[in-house]
Amino acid sequence: MEEEKLKLIDEDGNELEYRILSMFIYNNKNYIVYTDDTYEADNLNTYASIFDPDDDTVWEELTTDEEWDIVKKILVELEDK
């Protein structure tokens, strides 16, 4: 299966590319879980953010424990697969 890529452009014009692990919707917000494929002590660095499919300038951080709990559950399920 072709890997899905997330591309971000920062305020300096740098293009950053990540591999998408998962995406989910919660409380009408779209969350994306992704990695830069780097490792720390054999652990894959994983990130999660909020985006808006209708506005490509929206990029927000997760702020609640609830949101992070869902991310964790998704990663556990990915492991189970």
**Contact set with other proteins (CB under 8 A):** 4-12, 14, 16, 20, 23-28, 30, 32, 35, 40, 42-49, 51, 53-54, 56-59, 61-62, 68, 70-73, 75-76, 78-80
* Cβ at position 40, least distance to other proteins in Å: 6
* Cβ at position 30, least distance to other proteins in Å: 7
> What phi and psi, each to the nearest 5 degrees, are found at residue 41?
50, 50
Q: Is the sign of the CA dihedral 60, 39, 65, 53 positive or negative?
A: positive
* Cβ at position 66, least distance to other proteins in Å: 12
CB 30 within 8 A of CB 52: yes
Q: What is the dihedral of CA 20, 22, 24, 30, to 10 degrees?
A: -10
The residue written with tokens 């985006």 in the block is: 51
